Amino acid sequence: MSEEMETHPAFDRRVEHDATILLLQVVHDKIEKMDEKLTAHITDETLTLAEEIAHLMNKSFPQGDPEGHRAYHEASIKRAEANAEFWSKMRFEISKWGLIGFSGWFIGMIAMSVWKANFGK
């Protein structure tokens, strides 16, 4: 260091250390206050979030029972699948017996025509 810098009051080691210590103490106090506020905020947010989730669960599911809600939907799906299968079989059976009936009627009409043509005179 030059002689001019050593005599300058800003470079007085005692003054420099006192100011640095004071600045560090202020920064430390502010960090502690911010830490307290952040901790309180995190705690409040967590509690608020937990309360909101509990409220939504109770509101979304009957008696707050997601398992019962799932079971209800599974039963509804099975009922819909059984209903679809019933109507599919019903259409097939109606078509099958309708075709058999029509074939029988058609063969009967042909047989009557042949009978009348041969024996109807």
pTM, whole model, 2 decimals? 0.46
Structurally, how many domains does the chain consist of?
2
Tell whether 15 and 54 lie within a shared domain: yes
Per-residue pLDDT of 36-72, as tens digits, reads 999 999 998 998 899 998 888 888 887 778 888 899 9
Tell whether 53 and 88 lie within a shared domain: no
Domain range holding 54?
1-60
CA pair distance 98, 103, nearest whole angstrom: 8
